[in-house]
Each structure stands twice: as structure tokens, then as C-alpha cells.
Structure 1
Amino acid sequence: MRTMGLDVGSHTVGVAISDTLGWTAQGIETIRINEEKENFGFDRVAELIKEYTVTKVVVGYPKNMNNSIGPRAEAAERYAASIGELFNLPVVLWDERLTTVAAERMLIEGDVRRNKRKGVIDKIAAGLILQGYLDSQS
């Protein structure tokens, strides 16, 4: 039984999965979505939930720095509600402020070229979101 972490953006959803003990998070993939065409990647999320026997989902909650809720946070709330309804799983919204910045910094320090960073940053951010949640539970 594992926990899934999701970093929901307007074009992609980064996905991370915990180990079976719930100690560590690993970014596994980035799902392309299209909000305008109402393609939110739920089919792929369903496949991953089944493959990894996911029992809980943590969705990044991008609050503004002043703790207010903006349009992206509202979109994350809707996405989290849909995940909960579609898959009948508990869903936790987790404050993700600055996780994408931290992921970008990690990649830059790792000397990853800009064009390659774009393809992995969302799954790394999802891993940071999930790891933050897992650390809070121990």
C-alpha cells in the first residue's frame, strides 16, 4: 500500500509514489494534460493507482506566499476532489509553496541542461511534495 503525490499544473501533472513503508518518495513520471479540452490525465492516474496499489493521494496545494488561495490553488482543489470521487481514496491537499523552485534549483545544481529540466521538473516537484507529507507523518 502506497501513497501517490501529484503536482498539478495547467499542462502537466507530476507523479510520485512512496515506498511500501511510506518513508520515501520517488518521482515516476509526468502526465501531459489539456485543461481546455478537459483532459486531466485521470486514465493514466487510474493505471498508476492500480499498478502501485495506492491507498492515499497527496495533491500539491499552491497557496500564494501570503497564504491566500488563487486560481491555481482552486484548480488543485477541484483536481483533488475529482481524484477522491473517481477513485474513492482519501486525498490530502499539501502546501507546495516553492517546491518547483526547489526542484529547479536541484536540477541546476546537478548540471542538468535546461531542455532536459523541463521534462522532469514536475515529477521531481511531486516527489518533494510527497516527501514533505511523508516526513510530517513520522
Structure 2
Amino acid sequence: MRILGLDYGDRKIGVAISDAFGWTAQGVEVIDRKRTKDVDARIVELIRELEVTEIVVGLPKNMNGSVGPRGQLSMEFAESLKESVQLPVHLWDERLTTVSAERTLIEADVSRKKRKQVVDKMAASLILQNYLDAKSKR
């Protein structure tokens, strides 16, 4: 059972994967939506390669818990993904994950250029790890 975590953005999609036990999340890659001709095909390829059984998509909510335009786009992406890959797709509150990823990289003294390359992948890892942690507590 491996779970794919996605941090869906306008330009990039951060991708993370769980270990086989569903305990830990690791970043995989960042899909640049402008450079990748067929984003859906790349996601399907990752699902096959990584033997994914379910997917978690980050849902950006406002600080008051409401869903704004950005969240609506993520919900539409998740619904489209669910229909195309025929796997369970879960939405997970991603408030402040990108901020947290950015802070962690700054504390690790990662250069601004390198941070831009990995922040989405790290945010996807945080989204997925938060989901895995909540799932294990149930």
C-alpha cells in the first residue's frame, strides 16, 4: 500500500510517496506544468512505477477554514484525477505546509535557488506525512 501525495499549484506539482507500510513520506519530484507536455500522463506513469493504491491532494484552505478559489481548483483537480485513475483520492488540509517547508529549508541554510527547486516536493511530503500521521492515530 503506497500513497501518493500531491501539492497542486499553478506552475508546479510537488510529488511525494509513502513507504510500503504507510509510515513515512518522501519527496519524489516536482512536475513543472509548463515544461511537462502531458501532466496527467506523468502522474499515471508515477502511479504505475510506484505501485500507488491511493492519492492525497493538498487542499489549500483559508486560515478561517473556508475554501477559496485556489482550494476550488485543487478540488476540481482531485475530482478529475479520481475519474481518470480510478483510485481513491483524498483531499487534505495543507494550510501553512509551503511556509513550513520554506522555513525548514532556510534553517538548513539551503540557497534561495535550491529552495525554489525543492519547496513544492517538500510541501507534498509534509501534506502526505500529516495525512499518514492522522491515519495512524485512527
What TM-score does the superposition give when structure 2 sets the normalisation length? 0.95
**Where in structure 2 are the equivalents of 1:41-120 lying within 5 Å?**
41-120=39-118
Paired with 2:26 and 2:86, the residues of 1 have a C-alpha distance of 23
SS state of the match for residue 120, structure 2?
A: helix
Structure 1, unaligned stretches of length 5 or more? none
Amino acid at match of 1:22: G
**Identity rate of aligned residues, in percent?**
59
Amino acid at match of 2:8: V
Aligned length: 134
Residue 134 (str. 1) matches residue 132 (str. 2): yes
> 1:68 Cα shift?
1.1
> Residue deviations 1:12-70, cap 9 Å, x none?
00000000000000011000114xxxx67111111100001100000000000011111
CA 1:10–1:40: 2 relative to 1, 3 Å: farther
Misfit runs of 4+, over 4 Å = none
TM-score normalised by structure 1 residue count: 0.95
